[in-house]
C-alpha cells in the first residue's frame, strides 16, 4: 500500500467539529452505528489514511464513518470480519459464527 501524503478532504465531515453527525438511515453498514462529532470523524479518517487500517469491535459503532468516507472518496478498501476460533487441531480448524471484530484496510 502506498503511503498517503498531502492534504485530506474530510468531506462529508467538514464544518464545526462539535456538530454531531448521525449515521445514514436506514442502516447500510455493519454493527450498531452511533453518531459522532465532525472532529471525531476527522481524527479517525486522518489515522486511517496515515496507517492504512483500522480495527473495530463487534459492535462496530464508528466503522460507518470510515466506510462512508471510503465510498465517497472512491478508495480501494477491504473489510474483513473476524470470527472467534473455537478449536484448532493439526488438521482441522473449527470456527464459530460469533463476530469478534472488523478489520478495515486500504488496499492501494
Phi-psi bin for 97: left (phi > 0), alpha (psi -120 to 50), beta? alpha
CA distances from 4 to 7, 29, 49 (A): 9, 25, 6
Domains (range + CATH), the chain: 20-106 (3.30.110)
> What per-residue string of b and e applies to 87-101 under the rule 16 or more CB within 10 Å gives b?
eeeeeeeeeeeebeb
User: In the prediction, which pLDDT does 39 show?
Assistant: 97
What's the pLDDT at 1? 62
Residues in the chain: 108
Grouped pLDDT means (10 residues each) for the chain, 108 residues: 76 94 89 95 96 95 97 95 67 70 92
Amino acid at each position: 500500500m502506498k503511503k498517503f501524503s498531502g492534504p485530506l478532504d474530510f468531506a462529508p465531515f467538514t464544518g464545526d467539529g462539535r456538530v454531531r453527525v448521525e449515521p445514514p438511515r436506514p442502516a447500510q453498514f455493519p454493527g450498531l452505528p452511533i453518531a459522532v462529532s465532525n472532529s471525531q470523524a476527522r481524527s479517525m479518517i486522518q489515522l486511517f489514511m496515515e496507517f492504512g487500517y483500522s480495527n473495530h469491535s463487534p459492535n462496530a459503532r464508528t466503522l460507518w464513518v470510515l466506510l462512508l468516507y471510503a465510498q465517497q472518496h472512491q478508495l480501494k478498501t477491504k473489510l474483513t470480519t473476524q470470527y472467534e476460533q473455537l478449536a484448532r487441531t493439526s488438521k482441522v480448524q473449527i470456527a464459530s459464527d460469533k463476530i469478534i471484530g472488523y478489520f478495515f484496510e486500504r488496499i492501494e
